[in-house]
Chain A
Amino acid sequence: MTPDITMLHVMWNRLLSVVEEQGQALIRAAFSPIVRECGDISAGIFDLRGRMLAQAVTGTPGHINTMAEAVKTLLTLFPVEAMEPGDIYVTNDPWIASGHLNDFLLLMPVFHEDHVIGFTSCTSHLVDLGGKGMGPEGTDIFDEGLRVPPCKLVNAGEINALLVDIVKANSREPIANEGDIYALIACCETGSARLSGMMAEFGLDHLDPLADHIIETSRRGTLAAIAEVPQGVYRNRLMVDGYENDIELFATLKVEAEGITLDFEGTSGCSRYGINVPLNYATAYSVFAMRCIIGPEIPNNAGSLDPFRVVGPEGCILNAVAPAPVAMRHTLGQMTPDLVFGCLHQALPDRVPAEGASAMYDLPLRNAPEVAREGGDVFAIEFVHNGGTGARPAKDGLSATAYPSGVLGSQVEISESVAPVLIKRRELRPDSGGAGRMRGGLGQHIEVESANGNPFLLFLSVERVKYPAMGRAGGQAGMPGRIRVGDGEDLPSKGEVRVEAGETLIFETPGGGGFGPPSERARDAVARDVEDRVVSAHVARASYGWGSE
Chain B
Amino acid sequence: MPSQNSYRLAVDIGGTFTDIAVANGDGVVCATAKTPTTPSDPTEGALVGTRIVLEQLGIGIEAIGAFVHGTTLATNALIERRGAVVAGVTTKGFRDILEIAYERRYSQYDIDIDKPDLIVPRSRCFTVPERMNVQGEILTPLDETAIDRLIAELDACDAEAVAVCLLHSYANPAHERRLRDLIAARRPGLFVSLSSDVSPEAREFERLCTTVANAYIQPLMATYLARFAETFAAQGLQCPILMMTSGGGMTTVETAQRLPVRLVESGPCGGAILAARVAERSGLDRVLSFDIGGTTAKLCLIDDYAPQTSRNFEIARAARFIKGSGMPVRIPVVEMIEIGAGGGSIAAVDSLGRIAVGPRSAGSEPGPAAFARGGVDATVTDADVVLGYIDPERFAEGRLRIDTQAAEAALTRSVGTALQLPPAQAARGISQIVDENMASAGRMHAVESGKELGGRTMIAFGGNGPLHATRVARRAGIGHVVIPPDPGVGSAVGFLDAPVSFELVRSRYARLDTLDLDAINALLDTMVSDAAAVVRSGAPEDALSIHRAAFMRYHGQGHEIEITLPDHALAESDKAVLREAFETAYSAQFSRPVPGMSIEILNWSVLVSTSATPVSGEATVPRGRSVKPAEKRPIQCDVTGDMVEADIVFRSDLRPGDTLDGPALIVEPQTTTLVSVDFALSVDGHRNLVLTRREGQI
Contact = CB atoms under 8 A, between A and B. Distances in A.
A171 interface: no
Given A21-B443, A298-B352, A408 B103 contact: yes
A49 interface: no
6 contacts: A21-B443, A217-B354, A295-B351, A392-B112, A395-B114, A401-B103
A353 B105 CA distance: 15
Nearest to A295: B351
Nearest to A5: B419
Nearest to A300: B109
B102 A413 contact: no
Given A29-B590, A183-B590, A292-B109, A221 B351 contact: yes
Contacts of B429: 5-6, 9
Interface string B457-496: 0000000000000000001010000000000000000000
Interface string A210-243: 0000000110110011000000000000000000
A37 B432 contact: no
A13 B351 contact: no
Interface string A376-411: 000000001110000010110011111100111101
A273 B477 CA distance: 53
B110 A296 contact: yes
Contact of B134 (A190, A220, A406, A413): A413
B122 A533 contact: yes
Nearest to A447: B93
Contact of B440 (A17, A201, A408, A532): A17
A112 interface: no
A408 B556 CA distance: 16
Interface string A250-281: 00000000000000000000000000000000
A208 interface: no
Interface stretch (A99-107, A149-157, A422-430, A453-461): A422-430
Contacts of A414: 202-203
Contact of A175 (B96, B591, B594): B594
Interface stretch (B38-46, B47-55, B444-452): B444-452
A417 B105 CA distance: 26
B111 A399 contact: no
Contacts of A413: 134, 167-168, 202-204
A7 B592 CA distance: 37
B122 A28 contact: no
A-B pairs, 10 with minimum CB distance: A409-B103, A6-B429, A36-B558, A425-B93, A17-B440, A296-B109, A532-B122, A221-B352, A413-B202, A400-B100
A291 interface: yes
A24 B94 contact: no
Query: Which of B110, B436, B556: most chain A Cβ within 10 A?
Result: B556
Query: Which of A288, A384, A411: most chain B Cβ within 10 A?
Result: A411
A93 interface: no
Given A9-B355, A426-B94, A402 B105 contact: yes
Contact of A398 (B105, B205, B419): B105
A386 B103 CA distance: 7
A532 B121 contact: yes
Main secondary structure of the interface of A (DSSP, over half): helix
B509 interface: yes
A416 interface: yes
A175 B597 contact: yes
Nearest to A420: B134
B103 A412 contact: no
Interface in A486-504: none
A406 B355 CA distance: 29
B202 A409 contact: no
B133 interface: yes
Interface string B583-602: 00000011110111100001
A135 interface: no
A524 interface: no
Contacts of A225: 351
Given A17-B440, A179-B554, A412-B94, A6 B133 contact: no
A13 B111 CA distance: 24
Interface of B: 93-96, 99-105, 108-115, 121-123, 133-134, 139, 167-168, 202-205, 350-355, 419, 421, 425, 428-429, 432-433, 436-437, 440, 443-444, 447-448, 450, 475, 477, 509, 554, 556-559, 589-592, 594-597, 602
A255 B571 CA distance: 70
B94 A425 contact: yes
B448 A24 contact: yes
B558 A37 contact: yes
A407 B108 CA distance: 11
Nearest to A21: B447
A61 B111 CA distance: 14
A417 B590 CA distance: 26
A33 B553 CA distance: 13
Contact of B100 (A183, A394, A426): A426
A35 to B, nearest CB: 8
Nearest to A409: B103
A175 B559 CA distance: 17
Given A417-B202, A427-B93, A428-B100, A297 B556 contact: no
Contacts, number: 200
Chain A: number of interface residues, binned into ranges: 35 or more
A14 interface: yes
Contacts of B114: 395
Contact of B433 (A10, A33, A411): A10
A24 B441 CA distance: 13
A190 B443 CA distance: 12
Contacts of A7: 432
Interface in A47-77: 57, 59, 61
A20 interface: yes
A537 interface: no
A248 interface: no
A444 interface: yes
A531 interface: yes
B94 A12 contact: no
B102 A408 contact: yes
A25 B447 contact: yes
Contacts of A57: 108-109
A407 B105 CA distance: 9
A19 to B, nearest CB: 11
A186 B429 CA distance: 33
B134 A417 contact: yes
A182 B591 contact: yes
A298 B134 CA distance: 46
A361 to B, nearest CB: 10
B590 A186 contact: yes
B590 A531 contact: no
B594 A10 contact: no
Contacts of A218: 352
A178 B103 contact: no
B556 A9 contact: no
Contact of A444 (B96, B167, B352, B440): B96
Contacts of A166: none
A9 B354 contact: yes
Contacts of B559: 28, 36
A399 B443 contact: no
Nearest to A217: B352
A89 B121 CA distance: 52
Nearest to B440: A17
A36 B105 contact: no
B105 A403 contact: yes
Contact of A411 (B108, B204, B443): B204
A476 B632 CA distance: 73
A288 B105 CA distance: 15
Nearest to B90: A427
Nearest to B431: A6
Contacts of B350: 297
A366 to B, nearest CB: 15
Contact of B104 (A288, A407, A444): A407
A353 B115 CA distance: 16
A186 B203 CA distance: 30
A176 interface: yes
